[in-house]
Structure 1
Amino acid sequence: MLIDVAIEQVQGLITFFNGYRDTGFCNALETAKEIALEMEIDPTFRQKREIKRKKQFDENPDDVLVSSQPAHESFRRKYFIPVVDQAISSLTTRFEQYESFQKNFGFLFTSDALKSLDEKSLKYSCSVLEAALKSGGKSDINGSELYVELNLLKSFIPNDNMGPVDILKFLKRLDCFPNATIAYRILLTIPVTVASAEGSFSKLKLLKSYLRSTMTQERLSGLATIEIENDILEGVAYEDLIEDFVSRNAQRMARFG
Structure 2
Amino acid sequence: MAIHCLTQRKGGFGRIDVDVLQGCSRLPRNAPTRWNFTSRIVSTVANNYDGLLQTFENIIADTTMDDDTLDCAKGFVRKLEDFEFVFMLYTYEQIFSETDVVFDIVQQRAMDVLYCKNRIESLLAFVKEKRSEGAFQAIYAKTADLTSDPRDEPMRKRRLTQLQDPQVRYRNLYMAILDNILEQIPQHFSNLESMLFLELVNPGKFDDMRRVFPEEAFQSVLKSYGHHFDSGRLRSELQVLYSDQDLQGNRGKLCDYLVFLKDMELDSAMPQLYKLFSLVATIGATSAGVERSFSCLKRLKSYTRNTMGQGRLSSLALLAIERTLVKSFEKTPSWYDRVTDHFLEKERRAEFT
Q: Could you say which TM-score interval applies, normalised by the shorter chain?
A: 0.5 to 0.7
Question: Deviation per CA, 1:217-236, whole angstroms, max 9, x where unpaired?
Answer: 8843645899xxxxxxxxxx
Q: Distance in 1 between matches of 2:299 and 2:142?
A: 35
Deviation, structure 1 residue 91: 0.8
Q: Distance in 2 between matches of 1:85 and 1:208?
A: 40
Deviation, structure 1 residue 82: 1.6
Q: Distance in 2 between matches of 1:86 and 1:225?
A: 43
Question: Deviation per CA, 1:168-221, whole angstroms, max 9, x where unpaired?
Answer: 444345431322122122212212237455677655543232125431188436
1:83-122 alignment runs, 5 A limit: 83-102=177-196, 104-108=197-201, 110-117=202-209, 121-122=213-214
Deviation, structure 1 residue 81: 0.9
Q: Distance in 2 between matches of 1:221 and 1:98?
A: 38
Mark the CA change 1:161 to 1:82 in structure 2 (over 3 Å): closer, same or farther. farther
Amino acid at match of 1:75: Y
Q: Distance in 2 between matches of 1:225 and 1:47?
A: 66
Kept after mapping to 2: 8 A contact 1:168/1:184: yes
Question: Deviation per CA, 1:85-129, whole angstroms, max 9, x where unpaired?
Answer: 111211112223122212x33332x22434323688456644541
Partner of 1:232: none
Partner of 2:313: 216
Say which SS state the counterpart of residue 192 (structure 1) adopts: coil
Deviation, structure 1 residue 130: 3.2
Say which SS state the counterpart of residue 84 (structure 1) adopts: helix
Q: Distance in 1 between matches of 2:336 and 2:145?
A: 58
Q: Distance in 2 between matches of 1:199 and 1:93?
A: 24
Partner of 2:150: 44
Out of 25-34 and 93-102, give the one that drifted further.
25-34
1:79 lines up with 2:167 in the alignment? no
Q: Distance in 2 between matches of 1:199 and 1:25?
A: 41
Kept after mapping to 2: 8 A contact 1:142/1:179: yes
Amino acid at match of 2:237: E
Kept after mapping to 2: 8 A contact 1:164/1:188: yes
Kept after mapping to 2: 8 A contact 1:25/1:80: yes
Which runs of 5 or more structure 1 residues have no equivalent in the other structure? 50-68, 227-239
Kept after mapping to 1: 8 A contact 2:251/2:257: no
Partner of 2:283: 190
1:175 lines up with 2:265 in the alignment? yes
Q: CA RMSD in A?
A: 4.4
1:19 lines up with 2:129 in the alignment? yes
Mark the CA change 1:243 to 1:132 in structure 2 (over 3 Å): closer, same or farther. same
Q: Distance in 2 between matches of 1:200 and 1:15?
A: 39
Q: Distance in 2 between matches of 1:28 and 1:224?
A: 52
Partner of 1:63: none
Aligned-residue identity in percent: 13
Mark the CA change 1:205 to 1:12 in structure 2 (over 3 Å): closer, same or farther. farther
Q: TM-score, normalised by structure 2?
A: 0.46
Q: Distance in 2 between matches of 1:224 and 1:27?
A: 56
Amino acid at match of 1:188: A
1:153 lines up with 2:263 in the alignment? no
Partner of 2:23: none
Kept after mapping to 2: 8 A contact 1:111/1:162: yes
Amino acid at match of 2:166: A
Amino acid at match of 1:19: E
Kept after mapping to 1: 8 A contact 2:131/2:175: yes
Q: Distance in 1 between matches of 2:232 and 2:168?
A: 60
Deviation, structure 1 residue 71: 2.5
Q: Which has the larger radius of gyration?
A: 1
